[in-house]
Amino acid sequence: MRKQEQIREMLRRVDDLIWYDRHSLRVADEAEWAEVPADIRDRAMNQARRIEEEYGPEAIAASYGNDFEWGQLQGFREALEWALGAPGDDWGDGPNPSVILRIPPPTT
């Protein structure tokens, strides 16, 4: 069984890769960035540099290759959250897995 610290670290890594992809920092149009306040833009660029330095371009590029793998990455993230105690009905836009799997929700 994995320790909670290991699960949290993997969740942090997955969150980094998802954040990096969603923000598409390196391909953003300069006109788009001109509309973003400087302090937010600077923090975003610093975060992007940290992720690039920590993981390297190969790991970032290999995190997923198509829409199916993007879905797998999202599902993996949700499974990690669930393992840390997130309620099944709090998983964003997706369906409640308790309903799909026909299992009772966790008791609190």
Q: Which of 3, 21, 106, 104 is nearest to 65 (CA)?
A: 21
The 3-class SS string of 22-70 reads: HHCHHHCCHHHHHCCCHHHHHHHHHHHHHHHHHHHHHHHHHCCCCHHHH
- Which helix (H) or strand (E) segment holds residue 12: the answer is helix 4-23
Q: pLDDT grade, residue 26 (50/70/90)?
A: low
Q: How far apart are CA 25 and CA 21, in angstroms?
A: 8
pLDDT digits (tens, 9 = 90+) for 34-65: 788 889 888 888 998 899 999 888 888 877 77
Q: By percentage, how much of the chain surpasses pLDDT 90? A: 18
The tokens describing 25, both together, are 């920092």
Q: Phi then psi for 38, rounded to 5 degrees?
A: -55, -40
pLDDT of 6 reads 93
Question: Looking at residues 5-14, what average pLDDT do you find?
Answer: 92
Residue 20: CB atoms within 10 Å:
19
Indicate the domain borders of the chain: 4-101
Q: Which residues are CB-contacts of 80 (< 8 A; sequence separation ≥ 6)?
A: 7, 10, 11, 14
Task: Give the residue with greater pLDDT, 36 vs 102.
Answer: 36
Q: pLDDT grade, residue 10 (50/70/90)?
A: very high
Question: Looking at residues 103-108, what average pLDDT do you find?
Answer: 57
pTM score of the predicted model: 0.69
Mean pLDDT over the full length of the chain: 78
